[in-house]
Structure 1
Amino acid sequence: MNVLELFGMAMRTVISNPLRTILTMLGVIIGVASVITLVAIGQGTAAQIEKQYEGLGTNLIVVNLLGNGRAQQLDYNELMQIENLPEFAAFAPTINKSGANVKYDRTKKTYTVIGTNDRYLDVMKAEMETGRFITEADVENRSQVAIVGSTVAEELFGSLNPVGEEINIDGFVYTIVGKTKTKGSNSTGSSVDNSIFLPLVSAQRDFKLGSIRTLNIEAADKNNIAAAQSTIEAYLTNKFKSSDGYRVVNQDELMNARKEASTSLTNQLISVACISLLVGGIGIMNIMMVTVSERTREIGIRKSIGAKRRNILIQFLVEASVISGLGGLIGLLGGVALAIAWPHFNPSQTTKISMDVGLYAFLFSVLVGVIFGLYPANKASKLRPIDALRTD
């Protein structure tokens, strides 16, 4: 009996009891669809992370201070002196105030206020849509000027140009001098679009934000990242008399950390999804055992007219493979459809479909059918013709 005949017999068996077949395939369908969808989400997230970091260039170094008190304070003027070293391109120190109450006319909202200097725009690779950003003179003169992100501008002013308007931030009046272009989340997970930028010293004075907590550094070029990181670490260690009070990471480390976290979570979810494939395999074994019992007399007839043990073994293995293969194919199509539809339900996430993973999941589903179909097929092949023919 050739492969086509075996396949035809298997398909007739599958079609003869469609409900039982679908229920048997359900575990395989769910498993394959889950694997494809989760991998697509994971790879889409990784691509998003890479895109975010590409938007920041390749030379970013971030310093976070971990301690408090006078022993761990950064002096702005001192930092600006260090910026002149050849391995550095620009320093953009920041202080943040989350949940600041902002009022314009009758509209009240809460936003993150970021105190910084004129270098921030270049270091974070943001752009102005209208007006200007903070200048060095604004920092020196403690000017009451503000720059709003695109989301802030839309929520407070709608289609109105915000430049020249005044807003009240926790009781202090600031004049808007610029609005940034839409950018999205940056490397720290915060958003330029949903923030208000003030001169560093003005923010410190008005909101009692204390000393600088974060320093964003742009190295002179990619070849200078290691030197720039080494220099700032040496400066901080000498200033704080310890290397425990700060953390310095470059852009590659930040990106790799986020990608590793995303990959780890995706792998854990895929492991859970693979359990569905194993459950599906157990279902296939169960239904094949039932099939062998139902077709014992047929097996006896086939053996009595010359069918060999391997013919019976292969026949039932092909049937198990067809059931798992069809389940894998349906799961593959369902997984691709789910991956395409996912961003429509979760606009903040993107997906990236990997057909290689889809092929592997499909082949694995067929393998599951073969493995779990082996025992019932072997049992069927060992039946003695005389015993099988006596079965009603």
Structure 2
Amino acid sequence: MKIIELIFMALRTVVANPMRTMLTMLGVIIGVGSVVTLVALGNGTSQQIAKQYEDLGTNLLVVSANGSGRGTSLDYDELMKFEGFPEFSTIAPTVTQANTNLKYDRTQASYSLIGTNDRYMEITKSTIAKGRFLSEVDLEFRNNVVVLGSEVAKKFFGLLDPVGEELNVNGVVFTVIGVLNAKGSNLTGTSVDSTVIVPLETARRAFKLGFIRTTYIEAPTKEDIYKAQETMTSYLTYKFKSTTAFTLTNQDELLTAKTAATSTLTNQLVAVACISLLVGGIGIMNIMMVTVSERTREIGIRKSIGAKRRNILFQFLVEATVISGLGGLIGLLVGIGFALAWPHFSPSQTTSISLDISVYAFIFSVLVGIVFGLYPANKASRLRPIDALRFD
């Protein structure tokens, strides 16, 4: 009997018992659907992480001084001299203050304040929406000027142009010189949108923020960042006479680590989802055993008129494979549907469907049918015609 005929026979059997077939396929449907959905979520998360690092720059090095005294502080002039080295492109030392009280007219709110230089916008890949960013003149003369994040500007000025307006920052009057375009949260969960940026020395003088603790360093290329990290490590070790007085964070290394962690978690979830496929295979084997019992007389009749053992074996094996294959196909469609619909229910989460994994999941579902259908099919093919005909 040709394989096409066997497939059509299997389909007729499936159609004859739709409810039983659907319940049999449920484990396979859940397994394949889960695999496709979880991989799509994992890929989407990895792409989001990569995009966030790309926005900030994978050739970025963050220097953090540990401790609180002058002995573990960073010196602005010394840091800026490194811009003369080929492995350093841009350097932006910073001081920060959380929950800074801002007031304009009758509106009052608290946001984070960053004191930095004119390189900060370039390093954070921010762009100006209105006005301008900090300049060398602002830094040199310690001007009381402020650049607003998009959320801050919207909170205090709405649709009005805030450039030129005066904003009270912790009791000190600052003139607004610019507004940044919306950028969103970075990998640490903070956002430049909800910050105000002032000249470094102005922040240190006006708000007594003390010493520089964090510095952002950008290298010309991703390859140069490792040389810059080595140079900075040597300098800080010599300066602090210790390797524990500072921390260097390499964005490229963080990207690799986070992507690997996401991939590992996705693989573990996929492995758990594959258990559903195995459970589905057991269900297929169970229902095929029932089918063999129900059709024992049919098997006896077919054998008595000349059907060979391999014909019976292939008939039931194809039937099990068709059931698992249909379950895999439905699971594939369900998984793709969930993956496409997910961002509509969770806008912050993106998905990316993997065609390769989808195909592998479907093939695996077919293999499950073959493996778990083999025992019932073999049992059916071994029945003796005389015993099968006597079966009631």
TM-score when normalising by structure 1: 0.92
Matches of residues 284-295 of structure 1 in structure 2 within 5 Å?
284-295=284-295
The answer to whether 1:195 aligns with 2:198 is: no
Aligned partner of residue 88 in structure 1, secondary structure: coil
Cα pair distance change 1:16/1:109, threshold 3 Å: farther
Alpha-carbon distance in structure 2 between the residues aligned to 1:212 and 1:295: 83
Give, in angstroms, the shift of residue 92 of structure 1.
0.8
Alpha-carbon distance in structure 1 between the residues aligned to 2:148 and 2:234: 36
Which letter does structure 2 place at the counterpart of 1:369? G
The answer to whether 1:278 aligns with 2:282 is: no
Structure 1 equivalent of residue 152 of structure 2? 152
Structure 2 equivalent of residue 303 of structure 1? 303
Alpha-carbon deviations, 1:20-40, whole Å to 9, x = none? 111111111111111111211
Alpha-carbon distance in structure 2 between the residues aligned to 1:252 and 1:320: 49
Alpha-carbon deviations, 1:45-96, whole Å to 9, x = none? 2222333333344532222334444442112222123333333222112233
Which letter does structure 2 place at the counterpart of 1:359? V
| Uncovered stretches (5+) of structure 1, i.e. residues with no partner | none
Q: Is the 8 A contact 1:187 1:254 kept in 2?
A: no
Cα pair distance change 1:211/1:298, threshold 3 Å: farther
Structure 1 equivalent of residue 73 of structure 2? 73
Structure 2 equivalent of residue 242 of structure 1? 242
| Uncovered stretches (5+) of structure 2, i.e. residues with no partner | none
Structure 2 equivalent of residue 89 of structure 1? 89
Structure 1 equivalent of residue 338 of structure 2? 338
Alpha-carbon distance in structure 2 between the residues aligned to 1:343 and 1:283: 33
Aligned partner of residue 184 in structure 1, secondary structure: coil
Structure 2 equivalent of residue 49 of structure 1? 49
Alpha-carbon distance in structure 2 between the residues aligned to 1:242 and 1:352: 45
Cα pair distance change 1:374/1:120, threshold 3 Å: same
Alpha-carbon deviations, 1:91-150, whole Å to 9, x = none? 112233344444444444443322221111112221111111122333344433221122
Structure 2 equivalent of residue 38 of structure 1? 38
Matches of residues 226-265 of structure 1 in structure 2 within 5 Å?
226-265=226-265
Cα pair distance change 1:293/1:75, threshold 3 Å: same
Cα pair distance change 1:390/1:250, threshold 3 Å: same
Structure 2 equivalent of residue 318 of structure 1? 318
Alpha-carbon distance in structure 1 between the residues aligned to 2:82 and 2:366: 63
- Once structures 1 and 2 are overlaid, which stretch shifts more, 334-343 or 57-66? 57-66
Which letter does structure 1 place at the counterpart of 2:367? L
The alignment of Structure 1 onto Structure 2 pairs a total of residues equal to 392
TM-score when normalising by structure 2: 0.92
Alpha-carbon distance in structure 2 between the residues aligned to 1:383 and 1:100: 84
The answer to whether 1:370 aligns with 2:370 is: yes
Give, in angstroms, the shift of residue 293 of structure 1.
1.7
Kindly, what percent of the aligned residue pairs are identical? 64
Structure 2 equivalent of residue 388 of structure 1? 388
Alpha-carbon distance in structure 2 between the residues aligned to 1:281 and 1:106: 68
Please provide the CA RMSD for this pair. Answer: 2.2
Give, in angstroms, the shift of residue 247 of structure 1.
2.6
Alpha-carbon distance in structure 1 between the residues aligned to 2:79 and 2:120: 14
Structure 2 equivalent of residue 24 of structure 1? 24
Cα pair distance change 1:241/1:323, threshold 3 Å: same
Aligned partner of residue 89 in structure 2, secondary structure: strand
Give, in angstroms, the shift of residue 188 of structure 1.
4.4
Which letter does structure 1 place at the counterpart of 2:364? F
Structure 1 equivalent of residue 268 of structure 2? 268
Give, in angstroms, the shift of residue 169 of structure 1.
4.1
Give, in angstroms, the shift of residue 170 of structure 1.
4.4
Which letter does structure 1 place at the counterpart of 2:259? K
Alpha-carbon distance in structure 2 between the residues aligned to 1:66 and 1:375: 66
Give, in angstroms, the shift of residue 353 of structure 1.
1.6
Cα pair distance change 1:322/1:104, threshold 3 Å: farther
Q: Is the 8 A contact 2:65 2:74 kept in 1?
A: no
Cα pair distance change 1:106/1:287, threshold 3 Å: farther
Aligned partner of residue 87 in structure 1, secondary structure: coil
